[in-house]
Chains A and B, each alone.
Chain A
């Protein structure tokens, strides 16, 4: 492969990896606080993508309004999911929560299937996000720069929130010791809702960007990116915010390079991610950066 070709693939990989990272953060935050793998998380990509279509195509809103509205509703639905599917099971065995998460995922997918149909809808990508340019012989879609850029800004904001605000302190405390946090009079339920809102909004951003990158939206859009992001979170060390970002990038880049180097294997790109998951779980179950449960400042 030429250097230009490699650079090209690297850009693609970083762009894909950033999307995984955005979604992986939600898995890792919820795991840090509830010790739950929120399997419905990936479906919020799909939710946000459909909401984006409604805003843009049905209501003809300007894209910033449509996107913000889609994200706000996605965040709200995230909090509702916790209220309906997880909070009632707060004192139940962890396995019940997991089953509830899988159920919630099926529910979301099938609600979309019933009400929106199985036929993929085209995503009307706003002009700002479309197009591409050429630099030094490289063909770079505008999105390939926007995706990592947006991801970087959002993650920086999240890290500031977690490590420098009172709310962030409380989140870290909650991840370490639920009872001790409640004993300080801190409204634990509100923090949990906030965790779901933040995670869902990040997944929503991921969903909108995903829908512009691959502009076909169907009810199962979130399944595979969701699973890959989960793998990314495990790869980086679940519960570890920085780990989710590293895991996402590593997975995205490896996946793209694998396909580029071995075009004949491109059909196995998804299988590759799962093989990687199995290897990580066998070799180093706490992932690359270790399972730090959001306690560390970074």
Chain B
């Protein structure tokens, strides 16, 4: 689904990613874990075309996308649930969702809205409310729902657990598992390594711009170095 080959990118003049290669097979959940400042967000920005890579290739659904503009990349079937959610606070919940399905014909849009409201009943209750008035957890649901409205082949998530209470984190991750079972491939970027690796099939560890470990997430969860550095043991 997504293949990244020898990708390097800089944040200003500071190198943020060096020679990163990773692979997200169709249907899987892949977790990318790393501390603050490891380059996780830069990677997300580079995949989605908000930032240009210095070298390397990004292949999404068999096509190189690293030179495309953001909207074109996303319209190929990618959706990002960005760090900090970035919902539109002055638009209503419903309007936020509609924008996620901006190019859907009316009938499909209505069906997709109903589906999202079924997945997140809390959003249904607050359809006409301004998104800015939602709680943090609800905003995360909205960001997720908005990303799903385009029926993406692949969903990128940047720190979906950030700022959420542990119970809500569990809820979000359960929802992700459900979304994945419906056939959406997921690349999950997280600081919350334990939760992310428990959910994922495969994991990568990013350290100051380089990948240091990778493997089936079960193995990573038991890897002594990963345990000491990211699982607090």
Asked if A176 lies at the interface with its beta carbon under 8 angstroms from chain B, I say: yes
What's the Cα separation between A186 and B146 when bound, in Å? 13
Q: A184-B150, A185-B150 are in contact. Are A169 and B91 (CB under 8 A)?
A: yes
Asked if A228 lies at the interface with its beta carbon under 8 angstroms from chain B, I say: no
Asked if B120 lies at the interface with its beta carbon under 8 angstroms from chain A, I say: no
| A169 engages B95 (CB within 8 Å) | yes
| A182 engages B74 (CB within 8 Å) | yes
Q: Specify which chain A residues have a CB less than 8 angstroms from the CB of B48 in the assembled complex.
A: 183
Q: Specify which chain A residues have a CB less than 8 angstroms from the CB of B98 in the assembled complex.
A: 166, 169
| B71 engages A186 (CB within 8 Å) | yes
| B90 engages A183 (CB within 8 Å) | no
The stretch of B81-89, B195-203, B204-212, B216-224 in contact with A is: B81-89
Asked if A177 lies at the interface with its beta carbon under 8 angstroms from chain B, I say: yes
What's the Cα separation between A182 and B50 when bound, in Å? 9
Asked if B102 lies at the interface with its beta carbon under 8 angstroms from chain A, I say: yes
Q: Specify which chain B residues have a CB less than 8 angstroms from the CB of A182 in the assembled complex.
A: 50, 69-71, 74
Interface size on B, residues (CB 8 A): 24
| A184 engages B91 (CB within 8 Å) | no
Asked if A280 lies at the interface with its beta carbon under 8 angstroms from chain B, I say: no
Q: Specify which chain B residues have a CB less than 8 angstroms from the CB of A81 in the assembled complex.
A: none
Asked if B80 lies at the interface with its beta carbon under 8 angstroms from chain A, I say: yes
Q: Determine the interface band of chain A, counting residues with CB < 8 A from chain B.
A: 20 to 34
Asked if A284 lies at the interface with its beta carbon under 8 angstroms from chain B, I say: no
| A177 engages B88 (CB within 8 Å) | yes
- With both chains docked as a complex, state the minimum distance between the C-beta of A169 and any C-beta of chain B, in angstroms: 5
Partner of B74, one of A166, A173, A185: A185
Q: Specify which chain A residues have a CB less than 8 angstroms from the CB of B39 in the assembled complex.
A: none
Asked if B11 lies at the interface with its beta carbon under 8 angstroms from chain A, I say: no
B49-83 contacts to A, CB under 8 A, are: 50, 69-71, 74-75, 79-80, 82
Q: A169-B95, A188-B71 are in contact. Are A176 and B88 (CB under 8 A)?
A: yes
Question: Do most interface residues of chain A lie in helix, strand or loop, or is the interface mixed?
Answer: helix
Asked if A19 lies at the interface with its beta carbon under 8 angstroms from chain B, I say: no
Q: Specify which chain B residues have a CB less than 8 angstroms from the CB of A185 in the assembled complex.
A: 71, 74-75, 79, 102-103, 150
Partner of B102, one of A176, A180, A186, A295: A186
Q: A180-B82, A187-B71 are in contact. Are A296 and B90 (CB under 8 A)?
A: yes
What's the Cα separation between A132 and B99 when bound, in Å? 48
Q: Specify which chain A residues have a CB less than 8 angstroms from the CB of B79 in the assembled complex.
A: 183-185
Q: Specify which chain B residues have a CB less than 8 angstroms from the CB of A172 in the assembled complex.
A: 88, 90-91, 95
B90-135 contacts to A, CB under 8 A, are: 90-91, 95, 98-100, 102-103
- With both chains docked as a complex, state the minimum distance between the C-beta of B140 and any C-beta of chain A, in angstroms: 14
- With both chains docked as a complex, state the minimum distance between the C-beta of A158 and any C-beta of chain B, in angstroms: 18
| A183 engages B88 (CB within 8 Å) | no
What's the Cα separation between A186 and B100 when bound, in Å? 9
Asked if A170 lies at the interface with its beta carbon under 8 angstroms from chain B, I say: yes
Q: Specify which chain A residues have a CB less than 8 angstroms from the CB of B100 in the assembled complex.
A: 184
| B99 engages A183 (CB within 8 Å) | no
1/0 per position for B212-233, CB-CB distance to A under 8 A? 0000000000000000000000
Nearest chain A residue, comparing its CB with the CB of B90: A295
Partner of A184, one of B50, B74, B89, B90: B74
Q: Specify which chain B residues have a CB less than 8 angstroms from the CB of A184 in the assembled complex.
A: 74, 79, 99-100, 102, 146, 150
Q: Specify which chain A residues have a CB less than 8 angstroms from the CB of B99 in the assembled complex.
A: 166, 169-170, 173, 181, 184, 186
- With both chains docked as a complex, state the minimum distance between the C-beta of B97 and any C-beta of chain A, in angstroms: 10
- With both chains docked as a complex, state the minimum distance between the C-beta of B96 and any C-beta of chain A, in angstroms: 8
What's the Cα separation between A185 and B150 when bound, in Å? 9
Seen from chain A, the residues whose Cβ lies within 8 Å of a Cβ on chain B are 166, 169-170, 172-173, 176-177, 179-188, 295-297
Closest 5 CB pairs of A and B: A185-B74, A295-B90, A180-B86, A182-B70, A185-B75
Seed contacts A182-B74, A185-B150; 19 additional CB < 8 Å A-B pairs: A166-B98, A166-B102, A169-B99, A170-B99, A172-B90, A172-B91, A172-B95, A173-B91, A177-B86, A177-B88, A180-B86, A182-B70, A182-B71, A183-B48, A184-B74, A184-B102, A185-B75, A186-B99, A295-B89
Selected A-B contacts with CB under 8 Å, 26 pairs: A166-B98, A169-B95, A169-B98, A170-B99, A170-B102, A172-B88, A173-B91, A176-B88, A176-B89, A177-B86, A180-B86, A180-B87, A182-B69, A182-B70, A183-B70, A183-B79, A184-B79, A184-B100, A184-B146, A184-B150, A185-B71, A185-B75, A186-B71, A186-B102, A188-B70, A295-B91
